[in-house]
Structure 1
Amino acid sequence: MEFSQLTPYWMEFAAIATLHFFAVASPGPDFAVVLKQSITYGRRAAIYTSIGVGTAIFLHVTYSLLGIGLLIKTTPWLFQVFAYAAAAYLVYLGWGALRSQPMQLPMDNSNMPQEELSLNHISGRKSFFIGFVTNGLNPKATLFFLTVFAVAVSPQTPMLIKSFYGIYLAVATGIWFVFLSLILSGSKIREVLTHNGYIFDRIMGVILIVLAINLVWSA
């Protein structure tokens, strides 16, 4: 496909990118879980979680392109089941956060990297899984992609172009949350979170449970 043939799709892409920016920047389950990972486990875990969130975008893109999204949209009870599953997972994460306890740090930690001051550890695989499931079960993400591919993307747009849109959305989402992970786990911010992490963790637990209640209420 020549460059001149891509010209008609630049405005379409710009609309999608703009919608995506406002959607990904608004606080929601993805932001809450990345913040929680930063507080509890540090930068590495938060980055893996962010990559999981970005990778889950491919799931939404796939069912939207295959038309399964239309089935979810036209079948209310199926969407409700999806929302309840997401709410249950958020409650699970929130309850775990509410049980967070103050960290017991070693007495001699002057020479330890700030990232190692936390005694909480989690594998990269589990962190990735948390991010993937959180976004994959996020009904807001489902609604966003149903809207984008049904309204902003023309039916005449070639599948190759639509696939490019999907790749962009996944990569842009991952980059955004990795950026947030780097900011949240910066030395000064991390120091505050390390000493008061259990307080922030419990706050995040409340937020996650509130988000779950809101999902059930609006389903």
Structure 2
Amino acid sequence: MIIDPQLALVTAIIALAIISPGPDFAVTVRNSLAQGRRAGLATAAGIAAGVSVHIGYTVMGLGYLMSQAIWMLELIRYLGAGYLIWLGITALLSQRPAHGGATSTDESVSIAHWTMAKQGFLCNALNPKTALFFVALFTQVADAEAGPNQQLLLGLVIALGHLLWFSAVAMLLTTAGAQKRLSRIETGLNRIIGVAMIGLGTRLALAD
């Protein structure tokens, strides 16, 4: 069986980009541990939906424009940095998770899950590294002759990859065994995640 070298290269780049720890991973871990499996899965769905923003401007040809208009990437960088810092602060200030509480209503749970999905969406959509990844992938690596339909298909594959990977992360973190072990260090772990998100946001804001 002959494997297309170009396809293999693109697949490897996409896989490495998705699984590399970053803001998406941090927010998935935080929400999964704080609110439970469904919240983690909602976050994963939000992250995958956030990829649609990058798909949209790539298909419309704005990826090249963004690579030339540095101020657009700078704007995304500062918005993303501010959002990460805000998430980190809320993680540090949050109380003990109540995802197992009996008093939660269906409505409040739905609102919480929708909030988790929005966090995942904004985290990905405002991530300048994801924007740069799409620009580089479609202008330097992927077939330059690929039309909008091919670009859209590749973008959907990337979105699906995000959904599957971060759903797997949420599932693994919320197994009975993992929950039992992590419950002992829950407060400290939540603080570590909060500090990590603030650190990521600060590093992003100060990066050249």
Q: TM-score, normalised by structure 2?
A: 0.89
Deviation at 1:148, TM superposition (A): 0.3
Q: Give 2:64's aligned amino acid.
A: L
Instruction: State yes or no: 1:174 paired with 2:163.
Output: yes
Could you tell me how far apart the structure 1 residues matched to 2:102 and 2:118 are?
Answer: 21
**Alignment partner of 1:154 out of 130, 133, 143:** 143
Alpha-carbon offset, residue 117 of structure 1: 5.6
- Select between 129-138 and 72-81 the one with higher mean Cα deviation: 72-81
Cα distance in 2 between the residues matched to 1:199 and 1:60: 35
128, 144, 155: which one aligns with 2:117: 128
> How many positions carry a matched residue from both structures?
202
1:79 to 63, 73, 79: 73
Change over 3 Å in CA distance of 1:203–1:119 after alignment to 2: farther
Partner of 1:40 in structure 2? 34
Deviation (angstroms), 1:28:
0.2
| Residue 137 (str. 1) matches residue 152 (str. 2) | no
Q: 1:102 to 1:124 in 2, by over 3 A?
A: closer
Cα distance in 1 for partners of 2:4, 2:168 equals 26
C-alpha distance after superposition, 1:162-181 (max 9, x if no partner): 22111111111111100111
CA distance in 1, matches of 2:96, 2:153: 45
Asked if the contact 1:73–1:146 (Cα under 8 Å) also holds between the matched residues in 2, the reply is: yes
* CA distance, structure 2, for counterparts of residue 10 and residue 118 of structure 1: 54
Alignment correspondent of 1:116: 100
Partner-residue secondary structure (3-state), 1:123: helix
Specify the structure having the higher radius of gyration (Cα): 1
Q: Please tell me whether residue 70 in structure 1 is matched to residue 64 in structure 2.
A: yes
How far off its partner does 1:127 sit? 1.1
CA separation of 1:148 and 1:46: change in aligned 2, threshold 3 A: same
**Structure 1 match to 2:82:** 88
TM-score normalised over the length of structure 1? 0.84
In structure 2, relative to structure 1, the CA distance for the partners of 1:159 and 1:119 (3 Å cut) is same
Q: 2-side partners of 1:58 and 1:22: how far apart?
A: 19
1:208 CA displacement = 0.3
Q: In structure 1, how many angstroms separate the alpha carbons of the residues matched to 2:49 and 2:6? A: 23
Q: Partners in 2 of 1:145 and 1:190 — Cα distance? A: 35
Report whether the alignment pairs 1:56 with 2:61: no
SS at match of 1:157: coil
Alpha-carbon distance in 1 for matches of 2:207, 2:103: 38
Task: Give the one of 177, 192, 196 matched to 1:207.
Answer: 196
Code of the aligned partner of 1:67: G
